[in-house]
A and B are shown apart, each in its own frame.
Chain A
Amino acid sequence: MTQTPAPYIALSGVRKAYRIGGEMMPIFAGLDLAIPRGDFVAVMGPSGSGKSTLLNMLAGIDRPDAGTLSIGTSRLDQMGEAARSAWRAHNMGIVFQFYNLLPMLTAAENVELPLLLKPLSRKERRMRVEKVLDLVGLSGREKQYPAMMSGGQQQRIGIARAIVSDPGLLLCDEPTGDLDRKSADEVLDMLRFLNRELEKTIVMVTHDPQAALYARRTLHLDKGDFVEEKRAA
């Protein structure tokens, strides 16, 4: 008899509500989700369906009001803020829609930021930065500032920053939302490469059905619950 491995990401009975104008507005009323290690999941849904809240909870920047949320061996719902910061630094990378690069830092310095939180020598940090910049096809642009780059290039810097500390989980918040089709496809190709070749577990929130096609499966969220799941052919 084979034993089913525990999911890498597991949400069980997660409840979340926000107070808006004096009233509690429920977002999730008992959400369940299981994502195995190495999966690439696209989360789609209309505005207000809870996509961002889900991503914020997976990133440890928001906590469920009730229920359990575990990633790997960590129970994020039980962690305090300091522990969640440390967890983020070592276990997760995040790719933002608008890249969110620091404008006064060069491409290499932006990528190096998460490594400042690790006990690495300057040389080790530089080697890792060079490696990931090469991986995202931006070797030779180390000293360029974000303002000198196209949107696609900035997003690739954002991806390099997200993976430079070699996290197991990559969270992507509309990673192609600010890009033209060609740049979007390049970024999505890269995410697929990271998933298939480097075995990163990826959760990507998107409105773009084309982007969702790059994922192994797509979950549709509506009114705080998953209503549909599609697996890639």
Chain B
Amino acid sequence: MTLFDLARKNAWRKPLRTVLLMVSIAVAFLIYGLTASFLAGTQGAAGASDDLLGVTSAGGRTQPLPMAAMSRIAADPGVAAVGYVTRLRGFVDVEKNVVAISAADPDLLMAVNGKGLGLTPALVGAIGQGRDRVLVGRALAEAQGWSVGQRATITAFDTPREDGSRDWRFEIAGIFEGESAATDTYFMIARYDYVNAARARGKDTVDAFVVLPRMGVSPGELAAGIDTLFANSATPTRTQSEKQFLEAFLRQYADVGLIVNLVVGAAFVTLLMIVVNTMVFAVRERTFEIGVLKTLGFSRLGIMALILGETLFVFAVGGGIGLALAKLATILAGPTLGLVFSAPVLAKALVIIAVLGLATGALPAFNAMRTPIIKAFRTR
């Protein structure tokens, strides 16, 4: 037997109570695991790069930039590669089935962010074989049930064709996987030359330039330099990293991270109160035995360690179960829902388990530690 075994056996003295505590902890950490995975995955911010820069109009993303700006950006000695992208939003069959299309030059996109998107020369070659060909991200392909060679029609919300139709027909040339599970692949890549030629308005403009800084060049300084370059032009720019861009984009709708943190925080505070209350009663029931342990020579710190060990054990088991369920959910539904149970999510969860385990044990441990032996013996 070890001191940990003693703490563990204490925890199991009332199995039903301990199981219920573990279930409530597991549920809280399941919620945490899923929401944190949602933040890390669906928002794509976790997989987005801090180094890759996006240049958009300072007037907002709805203001396009002229294609002519590209040569000025490319002339900056700090720029390794430049690509461009125009975004179309539309739907498949029903309006709530929203799909995003990034119209780009595939070769330039490959040079700028081919690794991040998981593009291969074979995929770029495949899209190059026809102007209406597209590459579809894995998450989008799975969600829509699309496969290579299939044709798909996207009805654009606000990008009509020259003939007045809003239906864009594409042939799926390949599926890109993304560099990691955290990479957003819920969109498709179309050829800019095809979209630009066919669209009714906004010709020869782009929504954003994508800039890859040279090795050793600070992305922040390069971003400032690009914005300075266009500061007095007709189209001033705002240059941000891909990560900042995505986070700012999502904040247009709501600060999802703040909402999620508030929900999870409320769950953990409730959990803290429940477990503290339960543990205070559980330890109070054992005051006499704590007196016996002290009589046998257990020090105040030893008693404290025993009770903290007990709450840590309960949190470790309950939290572990909750996180395992969250991981399972991300494996089963991750690609569809964009859930990514990443190493930082796990690390943060383990820290929370340790902090809550210690915090909930602190009050009962402190009470037990301070109780004089003689007073403890009077409780029987």
Contact = CB atoms under 8 A, between A and B. Distances in A.
Nearest to A91: B297
Residue of A61, A86, A98 with most chain B CB atoms under a 10 A cut-off: A61
Interface in A66-97: 81-82, 85-90, 94, 96
Contacts of A125: 1
Given A104-B9, A116-B6, A56 B374 contact: yes
A113 interface: yes
A210 interface: no
Contacts of B374: 56, 61-62
B1 A104 contact: no
A10 interface: no
B294 A61 contact: yes
B296 A86 contact: no
Nearest to B12: A104
Contacts of B96: none
Contacts of B294: 61, 85
Label chain B's interface by main secondary structure.
helix
B373 A61 contact: yes
B272 interface: no
Interface in B329-380: 372-374, 380
Contact of B1 (A56, A94, A96, A112): A112
Contacts of A90: 297
Contacts of A113: 6, 293, 296
Contact of B295 (A86, A94, A112): A94
Interface stretch (B27-35, B70-78, B85-93, B298-306): B298-306
B351 to A, nearest CB: 29
A59 interface: yes
A177 interface: no
Given A56-B374, A104-B9, A104-B12, A89 B296 contact: yes
A109 B297 contact: no
Contacts of B9: 104-105, 109
Interface range on chain B (Cβ under 8 Å from partner): 20 to 34
A117 B1 CA distance: 12
Interface string A90-123: 1000101010101111000100111011000010
Contacts of A105: 1, 6, 9
B80 to A, nearest CB: 61
A85 B10 CA distance: 22
B3 to A, nearest CB: 6
Interface residues of A, number: 29
Contact of B297 (A62, A88, A98, A103): A88
B129 interface: no
B292 interface: yes
Contact of A102 (B3, B292, B302, B372): B292
A116 B296 CA distance: 10
B354 to A, nearest CB: 23
B297 A100 contact: no
B2 interface: yes
B299 A86 contact: yes
B364 to A, nearest CB: 17
A60 to B, nearest CB: 9
B247 interface: no
B292 A100 contact: yes
B10 A109 contact: no
Interface in A13-65: 56, 59, 61-62
A114 B10 contact: no
Contacts of B299: 82, 85-86
Nearest to A100: B292
Contacts of A109: 1, 5, 9
A151 B287 CA distance: 23
B1 A61 contact: no
Nearest to B376: A61
A104 B294 CA distance: 18
Nearest to B286: A102
A96 B3 CA distance: 23
A86 B10 contact: no
B10 A104 contact: yes
Contact of A116 (B2, B288, B295, B300): B2
A145 B142 CA distance: 58
A85 B292 contact: no
A196 to B, nearest CB: 25
Given A81-B300, A85-B299, A86-B299, A116 B12 contact: no
A85 B294 CA distance: 7
25 contacts: A56-B374, A61-B295, A61-B372, A62-B374, A85-B294, A85-B299, A88-B297, A89-B297, A89-B298, A100-B289, A100-B292, A102-B289, A103-B13, A105-B9, A109-B1, A109-B5, A109-B9, A113-B6, A113-B293, A114-B296, A114-B297, A116-B1, A116-B6, A117-B298, A117-B302
Given A114-B296, A116-B1, A116-B6, 8 more contacts: A61-B372, A61-B373, A87-B297, A96-B292, A100-B288, A109-B5, A113-B6, A114-B297
Interface of A: 56, 59, 61-62, 81-82, 85-90, 94, 96, 98, 100, 102-105, 109, 112-114, 116-117, 122, 125, 161
List the 4 closest pairs (A to B, CB-CB), nearest first: A89-B297, A61-B373, A88-B297, A85-B299
